[in-house]
Amino acid sequence: MTANRYGDQDVGGVERSKQTLGGRILYWILWRAFYALILVLFRLRVEGRNNLPDGPFILSGVHRSFIDTPIIGMVTSRRLRFMGKESLWKSKPLGAFLSVMGGFPVDRGTADRTALRAAQDVLALGEPLVMFPEGTRQEGPRLAREQVLDGPAFVAARAGVPIVPVGIGGSVKALPLGSKIPRPRKVVAVIGDPIYPPTFEGRVPRGAVTDLTDTLYAELSDLYIEARVLAGDEPAP
């Protein structure tokens, strides 16, 4: 175990998640402040918190708006881990803030497998990790199977942790694509049942990853519709 350039110990190049007492207190204060702000702005409603397991897991949400990241960070008071562009840590104040809030740096210029290894290392430390399966923000009232990537399924299978799907409704109208100022709007997050990967010894079969992604896609599709209905984005079926 070595010290990394960010002044913390690492495992496989990822910042160790263990926080000091001061870091835990600061996180609790900041989380409460953001939670209060989001409640006021978006009247956030979270369904299914009891579906969140103990220990490490991958939280995979629908991604339609910039505010999906802070919204998903509010579904639990546990510190969630997020990947961030390494360049963001060049600013010491910003890097310190991101680290406290669960961010860890990933070099976007390297191969995807480097980021996937970093994700596995974070889970090995026992903390939950956020991975948006669509990769980037998408548009439309329904998910497209071809836009749901294998990253979360691959990491879950390699790390032996469950994927927890999350549908988010209302975020598109709260902050549409191209808009910079959020609008007061009801947002609902619906947390589904954990999806547990099969157990493998050695190499993870490609077919098993695809099957796990298919299951995640199906669950997310249903949760997204449910969240949109609860947020008033579409009528109940």
pLDDT by residue for the chain (237 residues), tens only, comes to 333 333 343 444 455 456 677 778 888 899 999 999 999 999 999 999 999 999 999 999 999 998 999 999 999 989 899 887 788 888 888 888 888 888 888 775 554 677 778 888 889 888 899 999 998 888 888 999 999 999 899 999 999 999 999 999 999 999 887 788 889 999 999 999 999 998 877 788 899 999 999 999 999 999 999 999 999 988 877
Residue 144, pLDDT score: 93
Closest CA to 172 of 40, 66, 59, 47: 66
3-8, long-range: CB < 8 A, 24+ apart: 6/89, 6/95, 6/99, 6/105, 8/99
Report the distance separating Cα 204 and Cα 66, nearest Å: 33
Region of 163 (left: φ > 0; alpha: ψ -120 to 50; beta: rest) is beta
Report the distance separating Cα 30 and Cα 22, nearest Å: 12
Sign of the Cα torsion 146, 150, 153, 157 reads: positive
Extract the tokens encoding 195.
């999806």
Residue 19, pLDDT score: 66
Residue 112, pLDDT score: 65
Domains of the chain: 43-83+110-231 (3.40.1130.10)
Residue 3, pLDDT score: 34
